[in-house]
Amino acid sequence: MEFGFVTDELDLDPRKAIETALPWDIRKFEIRFLSDGRFPNVPDATLDDLAALREEHDIEYTAVSPGFFKCHLDDKTHIAYALGDGLERAMDFMEGCGVPLMICFGFEMATGDDAQAVALLQQLADRLAERRLAGAVENETHCKFNTPERIAHLLRQVGRPNLGANWDLANLQQGARAGFPGGYERVKPRIVNVHAKDVVNDEDGTLHWLPIGEGVCDWRGQMQALVRDNIVDHVTIENHCGPLVEVGRRNLDLLRQYVADAGE
Residue range of the domain that includes 129: 2-196
Over residues 121-152, the pLDDT tens digits come to 999 999 999 999 999 999 999 999 999 999 99
Q: How many degrees, rounded to 5, is the angle at CA 178 between CA 176 and CA 181?
A: 110
Quick check: is 35 in a domain? yes
Alpha carbon distance 57, 47 (integer Å) = 16
Residue 204: predicted pLDDT: 80
Residue 203: predicted pLDDT: 79
Looking at the 3D structure of the chain, how many domains does it have? Answer: 1
| Residue 237 buriedness (CB in 10 A; 0-12 / 13-18 / 19+) | buried
Quick check: is 206 in a domain? no
Over residues 189-218, the pLDDT tens digits come to 999 999 999 999 887 878 999 999 999 999
Pick from 131, 77, 76, 79: nearest CA to 104: 79
Quick check: is 236 in a domain? no
Q: What is the CATH number of the domain that holds 92?
A: 3.20.20.150
| Residue 130 buriedness (CB in 10 A; 0-12 / 13-18 / 19+) | exposed
- pLDDT tens, per residue, the chain with 264 residues: 999 999 999 999 999 999 999 999 999 999 999 999 999 999 999 999 999 999 999 999 999 999 999 999 999 999 999 999 999 999 999 999 999 999 999 999 999 999 999 999 999 999 999 999 999 999 999 999 999 999 999 999 999 999 999 999 999 999 999 999 999 999 999 999 999 999 998 878 789 999 999 999 999 999 999 999 999 999 999 999 999 999 999 999 999 999 999 875
Threshold 0.75, pTM exceeds: yes
Residue 264: predicted pLDDT: 56
Exposure string over 63-98, b if 16+ CB within 10 A, otherwise e: bbbbbbbbbebebeebbebbbeebbebbbebbeebe
Quick check: is 76 in a domain? yes
Quick check: is 164 in a domain? yes
Quick check: is 214 in a domain? no
Alpha carbon distance 124, 207 (integer Å) = 31
Residue 149 identity = E
Residue 195: predicted pLDDT: 98
Quick check: is 238 in a domain? no
Residue 22: predicted pLDDT: 98
